[in-house]
Structures are given as C-alpha cells and as structure tokens.
Amino acid sequence: MEKVKVTRNYQITIPATIRGALGIKEGDVLEVYLRGEEIVLRKAKTSRPRIRLGRRLTLEEIEGAIDRGEGGC
C-alpha cells in the first residue's frame, strides 16, 4: 500500500507503480466513487466511436479493391 498527500487544491499524484500496473497515461479518464469509507479510482472503460461511412460493401467489392491495390494505407 502506498500513501499519497492531498494538495491544497485537493489533488493527488498516483504513484508510478500503480500508473504502470494499470497503464494509466496523461489524459486518461478515471472514474471515482465511494465504497463505504474508501475512495476508489479506476480506469474508465472507453467505447470506440461508431462511425457510419455509407452503404455496406459486398465481399466481392472488398476483394476487388484489394486486388486493385486500393487499400488506402
């Protein structure tokens, strides 16, 4: 167990060992909630944005684009 100090702005620094174990990086979003008398921080589950680009392609169209080298990468 590690201890952290609360600053006058009520901020804490998450110890490097914990950040590393959870893969927390600058800009990540954390959830915070109370569990009894405990403050719990956990990495927020992010969902990938769903994007509709247009009509669905058929397998033949996809394979044709691959054969023509139209990968776009």
* Position 12 confidence tier, pLDDT thresholds 50, 70, 90: very high
Q: In the chain, what are the domains?
A: 1-46 (2.10.260.10)
Query: In this structure, what are the phi and psi dihedrals at residue 54, rounded to the nearest 5 degrees?
Result: 150, -155
Residues of the chain with pLDDT > 70, as a percent, come to 88
d(CA 64, CA 45) in angstroms, rounded, equals 37
For 39-68, what is each residue's pLDDT tens digit?
999 998 876 666 677 888 889 988 888 888
Q: Indicate the pTM of the whole model.
A: 0.57
Maximum Cα–Cα distance for the chain, whole Å? Answer: 63
